[in-house]
Structure 1
Amino acid sequence: MSLRVSRAMSANAAPAVTAIHRSSITDEEARKFDWGSALAIAPAVLILLGFLFLFFYGVYQSLTDLKLGRATVKFVWFANYAYLLKNPDFWNNVRVTVTYAFSAVAIEAVLGFAIAKLFATEVLLARILKPVILLPLVLPPMSVALMWTTMMDPQSGILNYLLSLVGIPPMGWIANPNSALLSVILIDVWTYTPFFTLILFAGLQGITDDIREAARINGAKGWATFTRIELPLVVPYLLIAVLFRLIESLNQFDIIFGTTQGGPGNSTSALSVQAYVTAFQNLTFGRGAAMMVVNWLIVLGTSMLTVKLWQAARKRVG
């Protein structure tokens, strides 16, 4: 009897011992450092640390009086920011930056939505535009700026020639302080409207015919279908495109510097352009760094607000 009991106890104990052995092996494997995964992500981590170092070094520079040729660098705390806040030219830089970014993005969103709706149809114009709509996006921004500078030349530019064909007097375009900002916004719109078109067309493709048919059965006509069905479902896609474009537009440098270099006067002097001029032409690196930190704060605040709007739109759709 005791022999049977001992055998039964041994049989029941064997799986428990095996489980304990396996768990100990699993714990040992978990404690081992995965060198393969660490090596795979090491380049990304190093690049991220490099960007963070440059960013915080720029913040440090903005708190100093760093200037080329100055023997000693003093820590001046927020003196550079106080100078900017008292300078009318700085507030003009902020105005130009915000006007440029929000105007360009708003126009691109409307035009991109219209072209995306066109692409959702089978009309001839849609079939013609689809193969070429992305061409502006693949061109380098500096090349785009130089191309449009030639086209907007008051004397020999093709734009004034085309205006003359319909009896409109020639314009100064980027040579006129009153039209320079509008001109660079036009260049931005031509370049980046295809980005909105691509994102919004993808959103429209996600709206099935069953949804539209259900709306028609419930009595929704064309405009009602657009405002109550299509637009709410596409708004999250729209806000994603707005987020990326606002970040880029608020930091825009290539198009503005390649066409006007911030002129005429200071009519197109965005923060990014003026920071470059202050740091690398006037060699006042501390003040230029302060301008870029302010630009970063504007981008951060705008991005956070856009993300909040996107989250609200997702909740409504969901």
Structure 2
Amino acid sequence: MELRGYDAIVTLQSSASQLASSQDRRIKSAEEPRLDWWSIAAIAPAIVILVGFLLLFFYGVYQSLTDLRFGRPLVHFIGLNNYAALIKTEDFWNSIRATLVYSGSAVLAEAAFGLALAKLFATEVFLARVMRPVILLPLVLPPMSVALMWTTMMDPQNGIMNYLLSLVGIGRFAWISDPVTAMFSLVLIDVWTYTPFFALIIFAGLQGINEEVREAARVNGAKGLATFLHIEQPLIAPYILIAAVFRLIESLNQFDIIFGTTQGGPGNSTSVLSVRAYITAFQNLAFGRGAALMVVNWLIVLVGTFAMVKLWRFVRQRVS
């Protein structure tokens, strides 16, 4: 009898251990990550597009290291010869100067005017109510249409811009027809087109400021300008910088507006890197040299964006 009782106890212990081990296996299998094929299928198109863009980019870098030219049957790897040849030309440095002047002037002006518009939209004045519905109009227009429209408006002889200036006693302005004023005219077009982008982002930042912060500043005696400089401006600085990052990338790569109005002229006064690369590759048919210009443009965009992002992180840490 005692032996049977002992066997029964051993059997129960064995069954309990088996049950516990099976439960542990089920818990471990439930905790193990499983492939979510639906999620993979959803992001697969984005991955394919990203890989395609990367392949095209690296192929362009490879082209910049060759003597690829239309009509040449054999393509030779020439290393950095295209870059060395570019550095020795005055046109290359003129294009870099034009690119930096255009993008820097446009982004700074758009940030200033965008901040002014955002402050206007934060009020309830009549002008703000009128402008809010139409502020997005320049952004939805195709850049080439904007270029053609402004080219007509800036015609020195029959353009409406000179007519408006004549109403206030200002003589004819050359606009895009003169190398001295062409860059200013292009920056003006860019500012008209993309200032609403800054205005909307800065306005969102202003709306996100707690009204109690402004009220506390007023209680402590801060006037309107002091409240803006010491309360609002530090809080919306990250919004201004993040908008500047996107606009800097686009302005350094700007092609449509510049090519649609001046095609890099008069002379080389507005021949930014993107326009010069197009002319070199598709008009002069020197594809290798044109690819080298675009790689240089990409490096400038990379350095500028990296610097702006570092500045944005620094400002955001100070604000938070």
TM-score, normalised with respect to structure 1: 0.95
Aligned-partner residue type, residue 314 of structure 1: R
Distance 2:293 2:153 in 1: 32
Aligned-partner residue type, residue 233 of structure 1: L
Which residue number corresponds to residue 153 of structure 2?
Answer: 151
Aligned-partner residue type, residue 16 of structure 1: A
Partner deviation per Cα, 1:62-121 (whole Å, 9 max, x = no partner):
001110011211111001101111111100000000000010010000000001001101
Which residue number corresponds to residue 19 of structure 1?
Answer: 23
Which residue number corresponds to residue 303 of structure 1?
Answer: 305
Closer/same/farther in 2, CA of residues 70 and 225 from structure 1, 3 Å limit: same
Which residue number corresponds to residue 180 of structure 1?
Answer: 182
Which residue number corresponds to residue 195 of structure 2?
Answer: 193
Helix, strand or coil at the partner of 2:133: coil
Which residue number corresponds to residue 246 of structure 1?
Answer: 248
Unaligned runs of 5+ in 2: none
Helix, strand or coil at the partner of 2:212: helix
Deviation at 1:183, TM superposition (A): 0.3
Within 5 A, what are the aligned runs for 1:117-266?
Answer: 117-266=119-268
Distance 2:233 2:198 in 1: 14
Helix, strand or coil at the partner of 1:178: helix
The correspondence for 2:87, drawn from 82, 85, 88, is: 85
Distance 1:50 1:188 in 2: 30
Distance 1:83 1:303 in 2: 27
Helix, strand or coil at the partner of 1:295: helix
Which residue number corresponds to residue 273 of structure 1?
Answer: 275
What is the aligned length?
316
Deviation at 1:166, TM superposition (A): 1.2
The correspondence for 1:50, drawn from 43, 49, 52, is: 52
Distance 1:312 1:5 in 2: 69
Unaligned runs of 5+ in 1: none
- Percentage of pairs with the same residue: 65
Deviation at 1:277, TM superposition (A): 0.2
Partner deviation per Cα, 1:126-185 (whole Å, 9 max, x = no partner):
001101111000000000000000000011100011111111111111011110110010
C-alpha root-mean-square deviation of aligned residues, in Å? 1.7
Helix, strand or coil at the partner of 1:69: coil
Aligned-partner residue type, residue 99 of structure 2: T
TM-score, normalised with respect to structure 2: 0.94
The correspondence for 1:105, drawn from 84, 104, 107, is: 107
Deviation at 1:5, TM superposition (A): 4.9
Helix, strand or coil at the partner of 1:66: coil
Distance 2:91 2:208 in 1: 47
Distance 1:37 1:132 in 2: 39
